[in-house]
Structure 1
Amino acid sequence: MATVNVTDESWKSDVLESDKPVLVDFWADWCGPCKMIAPALEEISDELGEKVTIAKMDIMANTGVPTEMGVQGIPFLVLFKDGKPAAHLQGARPKSQLKQWLEGEL
């Protein structure tokens, strides 16, 4: 499973109406820590893809949802369950920590 790119337009169908949990990575192209965790999120998507969808939202191309969500710093990860934010994590972490946190929240 590869990560899914989400836009303001696809937010409702891709995240809020998903039949499984969705981890949204709010990121931007100019964000070094965002680029650091991207490969880890791809690997986690491959490993946990049956249980959770890993989605990415570029906050520069999509301003509506990040504004509504109050995203102030990136990378900002939000886990949605049943269309509602269930947990969040701000800042870059090693893959092992990201995966452990996500598995603990699923």
Structure 2
Amino acid sequence: MVAEIKTEEEYKQLINGDKPIIVDFWATWCGPCKMIGPVFDKMSQKEEYSKIGFYKVDTEELPDIAQEAGVTSMPTFIAYHKGEKVSQMIGAIPQNLLKLVQETASKA
């Protein structure tokens, strides 16, 4: 399940945690975001990825987080582990997202 990050404090706490996480930076007006969102959600429900946290940030509601993360286009998926950005993917290509999720799971 993909949880929505609601505050900057929550974001900082999650990216600095021991559990690897992937954050989907999206916007309501973004067509590709709407296409890839359900794919990200399905991946979050798979047992083999249960050691990863799946989150999303609405860049319209939390622009400071998007700016801090260096997000310039959407969708952008960023993997974090122990406060470090470990990987990033821009775009709505399911195969690339799967690769990012698999790489992140291997670090868990």
Give TM-score, length-normalised by structure 2: 0.86
Segments of structure 2 that go 5 or more residues without pairing to the other structure are none
Aligned to 1:70: 70
What is the distance in 1 between the residues matched to 2:100 and 2:85? 15
What is the distance in 1 between the residues matched to 2:5 and 2:18? 16
Aligned to 2:90: 90
State the identity as a percent: 31
Contact 2:87 2:100 in 1 (8 A): no
Q: Tell me the number of residue pairs that the alignment of Structure 1 and Structure 2 aligns.
A: 103
1:52-94: CA deviations, max 9, x gaps? 1111000000011111122110000000011110000000012
The 1:71–1:97 alpha-carbon spacing in structure 2 relative to 1, beyond 3 Å, is closer
**Aligned pairs (5 A) from 1:23-102:** 23-47=22-46, 48-94=48-94, 96-102=95-101
Letter aligned with residue 31 of structure 1: C
The 1:101–1:10 alpha-carbon spacing in structure 2 relative to 1, beyond 3 Å, is closer
Bigger mean CA offset, 19-28 vs 96-105: 96-105
Letter aligned with residue 54 of structure 1: F
Higher helix share: 2
The 1:61–1:50 alpha-carbon spacing in structure 2 relative to 1, beyond 3 Å, is same
User: Segments of 4+ in structure 1 off by > 2 A?
Assistant: none
CA RMSD of aligned residues (A): 1.5
